[in-house]
Structure formats: C-alpha cells, structure tokens
Amino acid sequence: MEQELGAAVFQRTSFGLQITEAGILYKNFLRQTCEHYELLQQQLLVQPTQITLGMSRSSIHLYGSVIAKALQQQGNSPNFIIKTSGIINGQVRRNELSYAIISEPVQFFEDVRYTILADEFFDIVSHHAIQLKPNQPDFTLLVLSKTCVYTTKVVQWLESENINYQLKEIDSVGTIKDLLQLPRMAAVLNTKLIEPQDQLTEHLIPIDRTTKTYFICHNSVPSLLLPSLKKN
C-alpha cells in the first residue's frame, strides 16, 4: 500500500504502529470511497416505474415520442402495447393498462375516464389518380390497422358504392409511403402523418373524415400523464 501511495502510512516504533498524516488522509479517502460506493448501489437498485400504455398504430406514430418524453421527465419508463381501440378500451376497464390513447370508442364504460385529447382528420391518398367508382379494376388500400375507425369508415363507403378494392395492413408509415409509389395503391392516413414533401394526391370521398382521440384511464388511476400530453 505504501509503495503504491509513495508515502509512509504508518510510523513504526518500539511501541507499535502509529498512523502518519499521509495515513490519515488515505483513511479519509477510503471512507469517502466506501460511502460513494454504497450510494451508487442504492441508486442502481432504484428502477424507474414502468407505465403501460395501450395505443393503436396510428396513435403510436402521432403521440408515442411525446408520451415517452413526458414519462421520462417524470422518472418513469413507458411500455407500449399496440392493439385495437376496442381491445384497449376493455383492458383499461379491467385495470390491465395504466393509460391508453384510442380513437372514438364504440362503448363508454362508467368506471373509465374519457378525456378528448385531439380532433383528428384522415383521408385517402396516393401517388396516382385512382377512380373511386364502380366497375373499375381493383386497387389496394393500405392501412395501419384493419379495425381502426379510419379504415372502418372508408371500407363502409367503398362497399356501399360497390367499389372494387383489396385491403392490406402495413404497420409502418414509411413502408406505406414507399408502396404508394406503385400503381393502383392508395392509403388511409391521418393527415398529421402526411408531410408537405410527400406530394400525395388526395381522394376526397363524401364521408365524415374527422374523428376524436381520447386519453383514457380507470377511475382508480390518477391522470398524471394527461397535463403533459395537453401541454405538448
């Protein structure tokens, strides 16, 4: 030890060892090191609380980064569960999820709090002009989810007008935009997911293309996340 320090830690006398001034400094250093190590161990044992959120694919693209940032600022860790709004609504009622963001629920439960987070707008878009009329060749409709409210509204209109189509679920907005380069490809997308540089053709159809997005949680769960979401 003295060789490593380059100084005498003990003074050797006929009465035994006596600690030197260098030894006292070294003892204080070791005590502080032990205290810091114990503090480090305590910090490593403290794990952030994991918050489980249910979201649709559209919602995760729109709100995922905002939610993750808000939770991390609160010292929490997000765990996203991607499912349809109907399934998520039931999971919140059963207290299986901490929070959820869903599009207009089919059913409102009394023991779940529903707060409107935003009004959303969607449309059919493509890179090519597609005639949405009867007796035309099939076109492929790309969607993030086959069961979301956007898809349901558009599909109901297509079928009521006897328009030939094929439905294909793609879980990535980027992949959808790449596939739109192909002929006879269209997509149902939230307009917030469409960038100005995309230069997509809009296909206006005579249906209500607005929906509401809800933040929901069980009545027994505090809405700690909601203020951060509204702020952002």
The pLDDT assigned to 159 comes to 94
| Closest CA relative to residue 97, chosen from 212, 219, 218 | 218
The pLDDT assigned to 42 comes to 66
The model's pLDDT over 62-83, given as tens digits with 9 standing for 90+, comes to: 888 888 887 777 777 788 888 8
Distances (CA, A) of 175 to 101, 171, 181: 23, 8, 10
Q: Span 192-216, mean pLDDT?
A: 89
Radius of gyration of the chain measured on its C-alpha atoms: 30
Kindly report the CATH number that applies to the domain delimited by 121-211: 3.40.190.10
Ordered by start, the domain boundaries in the chain are 2-45, 54-115+223-231, 121-211
pLDDT at 86 over 90: no
Asked if 155 and 140 count as a contact pair (C-beta separation under 8 A), the reply is no
Q: Is residue 155 exposed (0-12), middle (13-18) or buried (19+ Cβ within 10 Å)?
A: middle
